[in-house]
Structure 1
Amino acid sequence: MNGRTVLVLMASASALAGGIAQAQTAPTAPQDNPQLTDEIIVTAQNRAQSVQNVPIAISVISGDALKDKGVTDFTSVQKVSPALQVTNDTNNTRVSVRGVGSLTNNEAQDQSIAVNIDGEYINRPTILNAAIFDLDRVEVLRGPQGTLYGRNSTGGAVNFITRKPGDTFAVNASASYGNYNQVLVDGGVDVPLGDVGGVRVAGFYRSHDGYTTHPNTPFSPTPAFTPSKTAESDTDNTGGGRVSLRLKPAAGFTIDAAVEHVEQTLIPAAQAWQDMASAANNPGSSTTSCANGWAAAYTVPGGVGCVPKNTTTLSKIDRSNYASPLIGVGSLHQISTAARARVAYDFGPATLTYTGGYRSTKNTGQNTLSPAFAFTNFGGRVKTQSHELRLNGNVNGIEWQTGAFYFREKQDTNGGLYSPFIGPNGSYVNYFRHPTLSESVSGFAQVEVPLTTQLTAVGGARYTHDIRSATFTNYFFAFNSGPIELTNQPSASTPLHYSGSKFTWLAGLNYKPNADTLLYAKVSTGYKAGGFDGTGKTFNPENNTAYEGGAKLRFAGNNTLNVAGFYYDYKDLQNDVLLNPVVGAQTFNAGSAKIYGVEAEANLHPSRADTISLAVNLMHATYRKFQASVAAFTNGNVPATPPTVDLGGNRLPQAPNAIVSVGWDHVFDLGGAGTITASAYSRYKGNYYLDFYNYNDSKQIGHTQSDFSLEYKPANKHYSVQAFVRNIENYRLIAYAGNTVVPGVANIYNWQFTPPRTYGVRLGIDF
């Protein structure tokens, strides 16, 4: 697929949509299927608009749809947004859109997708792992959003909008139970405060047993280190609550505020592993060639460096039952507290809006790592705050907005790589303290100017300045220390500093020949800030210039067809890899990458009782130039520093060539007895890699995953009963894959997998 193909496909889809619009007539909207008449309103451009009038490729999922599809955390959002790729590596959630994301183990590296909860900017992969609950909707914006969302939105943005208090007393709640002893209870109460506003109190609790069993657990090698005694991993016990306030003390004046607290205790999924140095897996003893699927990456005097390019060790793994690391499984505890506020005053010519948020998150516990390590965490803390002041209005049909944004993040890392097999009490191979302070300040403006009654020009710009500073303290090898917090061991401290500025912009044209058609074309830029990785090495910002065109069409009532084609020109794309846990995660800048593709989404209502959703995403994503270090099995002399290899032509990780999804909802009208809704959904995803080396053992093959549910609602619709099954195929995808080397100790391939088939029943009330 090339750029010309993308344009042809876009034009064909637009022509097809136009033909459909002329041929169809609007169906009569039944009362039992509100999807035929409801208009979806979003705030992706900082004002309320119909999603069909927003010149952005955007997917919107309502809170009710999230519940029906079993979306209870960030990872499961991808089930209802085909272009969104979300994976979870132990307690790190990783997000990518259209092949752009951050697969990082570096605690200081930023995301490539801007994630916001009611305008509060979320950046850390551990915080993204926290639960999402009591939502009004989720907006997934595809493509760089560098003008309105700023830094770290090179691939797009995800907005979580929570449910706000209503002006009447109302109660909603649901309870689910399923296999693996899955329990999910959530609900909320709206309490009106007269004519002034209202309060909403909402909460949830979820838990499930482990999805994976480990025949070698429990095992405790020393009295000093006691891992979890369970023989299972990937368990979850999470709960939290939120108090929301909405006040309208005067005309044009609105105050939204919320405080929430979430606690999570889990046994993270233990990674499956294979010893690549074992007789069955290693590259052999030859000094001139590599065996067992290994390939020569470089030569050294007296030997070659072999990498596991075409090994097949993954095929030996039972994805639901495998050996954990030799010291068992880990345990993690996370506490996150946040406060958010939005204050808006419409004084006629313009509206002044302040949006801000504070969050404090603390992580404790340990992850066990193969073959026999644990990474301890003695209270790693992240404190963030974000503030935006925005002024927007309309003058003679010209929509404009301008504002300023400030973000501050302080994070502390306190833990190390521990082995209970070194010394009577175990020893630390390394230990890190990496307190890091990040700040970003920016100013932005965007304007939409009508050129004619049908044609509008859009322009925007943003200037951002980033500062990051840290003092990395690395303790030396601590023999016989025990798994304790280190404070006075011999250490070396390195002060680090990064600063940079960036100008991003947007230019586009929107053509709206009638109320049901929008054609748009734009050029936009985005960037992700530079910084320093876990080793203290500085890396550059990444930059994306995106060219995109699309069409949004409504026909025959509320049927819609949206198509988009895009081309990305990437420079200095940041890529992260953990080659050696003793050293820490490393970040490399790819010289350049190109990504292009076409997308089409349709929402159709062929009858009063049927809703069909279709989505097709075709994409090509490869590196043009990319020199990266590589960890290799060396027969001969070992290089003093890891050598680099040319990865030009490799595919970007988490970038399937094709994603196709189809969903069907049918409402069976039972007359006075109510309705039964049958919902079926299936998604096909083509093959993709979990690493940028494109190793065979990091390749997820093409697959389908399907869900089905039946829901009964009585005529009064005050309660519902649903039976559901998710991932009918019971296929567990690769969530993480990587080859890690501890020099002189181990050469290990690791994997982690997504959940298996789940099923259960859900009871809901709403009155």
Structure 2
Amino acid sequence: MQHHRGYPTLLAALVAAACSSAAHAQATDGPIQEVVVTAQRTASLESKTPVAMSVLSGEALREAGFDSPAELAKRLPNVHLDGAADGLRITIRGVSNSDATDKGDPSAAFMLDGIYIARPQNQNGLLLDVDRIEVLRGPQGTLYGRNTTAGVINVISRAPTRVLEAEFGADAGNYGSRKANGMLNVPVADWLALRAAVAVDRHDSYLRNGQGTRHTLGQDADSRSVRLSAKATLGPAASLLLRADHSSNHYNADSFVSDNNFFRNADSGNPVWYGASAGDRLTNRFVPPNMVPEQGWARSRTSGIGAEFTWNLGPATLYYLGAHREFDLDFLTNYIYRVTPATTLGVRQVYTGGQRQDSHEVRVASNGTGALSAQAGLYWFDERSHSNYAFRDLMPIGLPPYYAYPSDPTLAKSRAAFGQLTWRVTGQLRATAGLRYTQDEKSRVGATSFQQGPVFNPATDFQLPNAALIETDKRTWRLGLDYDLAPSTFVYGTLSTGYKAGGFNDGCVAGITLGVACPAATAFTPGFLYYQPETLKALELGAKTRFWNKRASLNVAAFKYDYTNLQLSGNAIIAGAPRFITTNAGVASVRGLELDGKVQATADDRFTYGLTLLDAHYVSYTPDGVQSWDGRKLDRAPSHVLSAGYERRVRLAGHEVRAGVNARRSAAYMIGVPSRLVQYRIPAMSTVDATLAWRPDDAPWSVAAYAHNLGNKIAPATIDSFGMSVPGAPRTYGVRLDYRYQ
């Protein structure tokens, strides 16, 4: 694909056309509702925020039947959200990450009420009592910090209000789906309000067992979530919001099938897509030659407490945001393990692990409407993890009966100071400059363990140390200009940088002792053990306009990224043992164009539309040090995606009926496995969702039906180094009853 040198010209033409439409619009009713966001850490209208972003309201999520983050990508330009076996896989504008271990970091930050959630396994939970979800595309290193080179997803819960209200919803659908949720908000006093929200989500497995056993398979759910919150007014100038939440999920960890379900010649490393029914795609037919699978299972538990404190000091407001969160996960799964094109084994894995994280941020933001506005803050983050991956059944390749990776502890610490200043040069022109300095420290004490039994025995077993410590730091900055072309149209430009912390692979370096000594005979070179921070510089030009008397909107963004040391991960056999390795990909380039908006054609007809163009490729990368991938596409980076939606409201004798349809057409894209020098090409594909809702006038209740993936098209969400693929969700549908008291 050629580089799109005409993007800025096209951007200017689109802005001019929008302004012309605004000038000639006829007076009509029903403007598009404005949305207040906090993408820049202060409240502003989405249409006046100089960031490429999408906002999904809690009401829109409920109407669409979405209850987990992995379902949201259909509504988001240039975003993939995949429910991988090891957690939520976030890809924004072709930038992703596949290291979900306790030493890895994402490229896009996932946040819950502004709190960074470090582990992907803890990100794809139920969307509980959501006010809105803000998705920021592009690096956000100044205000949000490290690991935001791709962007930020911030799930914002509804806070307690001074209104007595309650909600209840129940849902039933195919695959045995049954869901329920409830909310109760109680104003206890003038200064105190309480809110409680609960949700339950259960459904059977999407997968079919073709292995000849009676075991059930994965992609099922049995989730429960609860959140309690309290908001207190502390005098005329201060407030405190407290939240406590807990979630659990009992499910099956066997959530994958062989890549042969999608590709011919996958075993030989030359995969070619072929057509098949959804049932064939979702059937696990792999019969291990070396073992009998066990019944897979998994249990996860997460909980957290958090506080938001706000104190208006007059010229400035003081903010504090802090939380303690815990996550535990245990599972048994049956892996597909491709050793050579002619040999694929079955492997049983037992995992147990947990993570604890604490974060604190203190920030001061100026008040008033003067020529200068500023904010500055300090950030502190600590994470401690422990885990043990224990594998069996690898004796045919010369490994002992048990092969394990115990680690305790894995530590991550991050400290940062940041500030951003905006100068209102004129009534229409504003200039912004921001700077953040971050220090990161990671360490791990663990081992690669070769065992005769499930518990390590020093008399019969031996271990290779996995022990490393790395410290990195980075200054990230942002420069921006935005200008009001008209009361409802503004343009912006930003030049910014992003940073993702460096890390380490399995092994150790001779002469370094970190909990355990590193024997010289098994040591690795620093160049192999450590990988460098991922950095980028990004230029973005954008425009946002409301025209046709604010009944139509157009958002446009053209961007260009230059990546250095892009981090890519996969499994490889190193020194006779399977290891999970991350390397730096040299240089990568990303450039593209995004266009999206809404049209309120009449009081009863609403359209949404979107178009993205993307060229994301490696500029310089040799996965094995020999073969060049220069010019090849990055993962999940289709050259273009077109989306469209339509909703119609009909009035019928005291009743309201709403019908909607949303379609998305994606060009082909790649999923790469650099450690095997393989790229899987996913062909162009379309998906369609539909909704239908009915509510009597003035009734507190409504009934809705929804259907996702009407065409039942199944594509792999992920493919790993062993040939295991996690399929996307099949066609699902359901009926929902909602009741609201206020």
TM-score, structure 2 as length reference: 0.90
Tell me by how many angstroms 1:324 deviates. 4.6
Q: What residue identity is the alignment partner of 1:309? A: N
Contact 2:673–2:720 (CA<8 Å) still a contact in 1?
no
Gaps in structure 1 of 5+ consecutive residues: 30-35, 219-228, 282-291, 295-306, 630-642, 741-748
Aligned pair in 2 of structure 1 residues 506, 717: CA closer, same or farther (>3 Å)? farther
Contact 1:683–1:705 (CA<8 Å) still a contact in 2?
yes
Contact 1:389–1:405 (CA<8 Å) still a contact in 2?
yes
Contact 1:106–1:534 (CA<8 Å) still a contact in 2?
no
Tell me by how many angstroms 1:123 deviates. 1.7
Gaps in structure 2 of 5+ consecutive residues: 337-344, 509-528
How big is each residue's C-alpha offset from its partner over 1:690-726, in whole Å with a ceiling of 9 and x where there is no partner?
2154977722111111111110111114111001111
Distance between the aligned counterparts of 2:414 and 2:212, measured in 1? 46
Contact 2:366–2:375 (CA<8 Å) still a contact in 1?
yes
Aligned pair in 2 of structure 1 residues 647, 49: CA closer, same or farther (>3 Å)? same
How big is each residue's C-alpha offset from its partner over 1:629-652, in whole Å with a ceiling of 9 and x where there is no partner?
3xxxxxxxxxxxxx6432111110
Find the counterpart in structure 1 of residue 243 from structure 2. 258
Q: What residue identity is the alignment partner of 1:19? A: S
User: What SS does the corresponding residue of 1:111 show, helix, strand or coil?
Assistant: coil
Q: What residue identity is the alignment partner of 1:339? A: I
Tell me by how many angstroms 1:605 deviates. 0.5
Q: Is 2:655 the partner of 1:674?
A: yes
Find the counterpart in structure 2 of residue 461 from structure 1. 435
Of 459, 464, 469 in structure 2, the residue corresponding to residue 492 of structure 1 is: 464
Of 754, 759, 762 in structure 1, the residue corresponding to residue 728 of structure 2 is: 754
User: What SS does the corresponding residue of 1:129 show, helix, strand or coil?
Assistant: coil
Find the counterpart in structure 1 of residue 270 from structure 2. 309
Of 685, 708, 712 in structure 2, the residue corresponding to residue 726 of structure 1 is: 708
How big is each residue's C-alpha offset from its partner over 1:23-77, in whole Å with a ceiling of 9 and x where there is no partner?
3234223xxxxxx453200011111110011000010000010111122111112
Alignment of 1:674-753 (within 5 A): 674-691=655-672, 693=674, 698-740=680-722, 749-753=723-727
User: What SS does the corresponding residue of 1:452 show, helix, strand or coil?
Assistant: coil
How big is each residue's C-alpha offset from its partner over 1:321-343, in whole Å with a ceiling of 9 and x where there is no partner?
23156315521110001111100
How big is each residue's C-alpha offset from its partner over 1:129-168, in whole Å with a ceiling of 9 and x where there is no partner?
3322110000000110010001000011111100111211
User: What SS does the corresponding residue of 1:372 show, helix, strand or coil?
Assistant: strand
Tell me by how many angstroms 1:97 deviates. 0.7
Contact 2:271–2:680 (CA<8 Å) still a contact in 1?
no
Tell me by how many angstroms 1:275 deviates. 8.3
Aligned pair in 2 of structure 1 residues 68, 212: CA closer, same or farther (>3 Å)? same
Q: What residue identity is the alignment partner of 1:368? A: N
Contact 2:373–2:423 (CA<8 Å) still a contact in 1?
yes
Distance between the aligned counterparts of 1:485 and 1:547, measured in 2? 53
Q: Is 2:12 the partner of 1:6?
A: no
Find the counterpart in structure 2 of residue 168 from structure 1. 163
User: What SS does the corresponding residue of 2:42 show, helix, strand or coil?
Assistant: coil
Distance between the aligned counterparts of 1:696 and 1:587, measured in 2? 16
Q: What residue identity is the alignment partner of 1:498? A: I
Find the counterpart in structure 2 of residue 60 from structure 1. 55
Contact 1:472–1:496 (CA<8 Å) still a contact in 2?
no
The percent of aligned pairs where both chains have the same amino acid is 28
Q: Is 2:316 the partner of 1:350?
A: yes
Alignment of 1:204-353 (within 5 A): 204-218=199-213, 230-273=215-258, 308-311=269-272, 318-324=280-286, 326=288, 327-328=293-294, 330-353=296-319
Distance between the aligned counterparts of 2:455 and 2:202, measured in 1? 30
How big is each residue's C-alpha offset from its partner over 1:276-310, in whole Å with a ceiling of 9 and x where there is no partner?
9xxx98xxxxxxxxxx699xxxxxxxxxxxx6135
Name whichever of 380-389 and 510-519 sits farther off.
510-519
Contact 1:167–1:191 (CA<8 Å) still a contact in 2?
yes
Q: What residue identity is the alignment partner of 1:343? A: F
Q: Is 2:103 the partner of 1:137?
A: no
Find the counterpart in structure 2 of residue 225 from structure 1. none
Distance between the aligned counterparts of 1:312 and 1:611, measured in 2? 37
Contact 1:727–1:756 (CA<8 Å) still a contact in 2?
yes
Q: What residue identity is the alignment partner of 1:51? A: E
Of 530, 539, 554 in structure 2, the residue corresponding to residue 538 of structure 1 is: 530
Contact 1:6–1:565 (CA<8 Å) still a contact in 2?
yes
Q: What residue identity is the alignment partner of 2:668? A: N
Contact 2:168–2:181 (CA<8 Å) still a contact in 1?
yes
User: What SS does the corresponding residue of 2:16 show, helix, strand or coil?
Assistant: helix
Of 422, 432, 451 in structure 1, the residue corresponding to residue 425 of structure 2 is: 451
How big is each residue's C-alpha offset from its partner over 1:204-236, in whole Å with a ceiling of 9 and x where there is no partner?
000111101012242xxxxxxxxxx53333111
Tell me by how many angstroms 1:240 deviates. 1.2
Contact 1:211–1:320 (CA<8 Å) still a contact in 2?
yes
TM-score, structure 1 as length reference: 0.87
Contact 2:217–2:296 (CA<8 Å) still a contact in 1?
no
Tell me by how many angstroms 1:626 deviates. 0.8
Of 363, 371, 385 in structure 2, the residue corresponding to residue 390 of structure 1 is: 363
Find the counterpart in structure 1 of residue 188 from structure 2. 193
Between Structure 1 and Structure 2, how many residues are aligned?
A: 697
Aligned pair in 2 of structure 1 residues 502, 231: CA closer, same or farther (>3 Å)? same
User: What SS does the corresponding residue of 1:731 show, helix, strand or coil?
Assistant: coil
Find the counterpart in structure 1 of residue 555 from structure 2. 562
How big is each residue's C-alpha offset from its partner over 1:60-107, in whole Å with a ceiling of 9 and x where there is no partner?
000010111122111112122132211122132110111111122443
Q: What residue identity is the alignment partner of 2:666? A: K
Alignment of 1:548-587 (within 5 A): 548-555=540-547, 556-580=549-573, 582-587=577-582
Distance between the aligned counterparts of 1:174 and 1:486, measured in 2? 50
Aligned pair in 2 of structure 1 residues 560, 202: CA closer, same or farther (>3 Å)? same
User: What SS does the corresponding residue of 1:11 show, helix, strand or coil?
Assistant: helix
Q: What residue identity is the alignment partner of 2:87? A: N
Aligned pair in 2 of structure 1 residues 311, 61: CA closer, same or farther (>3 Å)? closer
